[in-house]
Amino acid sequence: MHGSFELCLKFAKEGDFIYFDPPYHPLSETSSFTSYTKEDFGKKSQKKLFNVFKRLDEKGCKLMLSNSYNNFILDLYNEYQIILLNAKRAINSDASKRGAIIEVLVVN
């Protein structure tokens, strides 16, 4: 299915597994990539996604979400299990910043 993440609320049932891989929240003010489309995926969209995540949790769905490691995301999902992962990045406009970074995996 192709569409907004909010469509999950219409079709998801108890026991369904749903994985979210949104545009990651920027790690700094100079990190400007927040969308794969012309629409921005900023804090407002991250909060909308959190609300969908929460409602799906209440439905009894099994959930997993990946995102960047920063205070905004940690605070937003603080009631869920947050697993820290080391991820390698081969792409960055600044070659010195390529390499291992920490990301989060949120599960209910």
Q: Of the candidates 64, 104, 63, which has an alpha carbon nearest to the alpha carbon of residue 86?
A: 104
Q: How confident is the model at residue 75 (pLDDT cuts 50, 70, 90)?
A: very high
pLDDT in tens, 8-27: 899 999 999 999 998 887 77
Average pLDDT over the chain, rounded to an integer: 84
What is the reported pLDDT for 23? 83
DSSP string, 69-93: -SHHHHHHTTTSEEEEEEEEE---S
pLDDT in tens, 31-67: 554 444 456 788 899 999 999 999 999 999 999 999 9
Say whether domain 15-25+34-107 belongs to CATH 3.20.20.70. no
Question: For 84, left (φ over 0), alpha (ψ -120 to 50), or beta?
Answer: beta
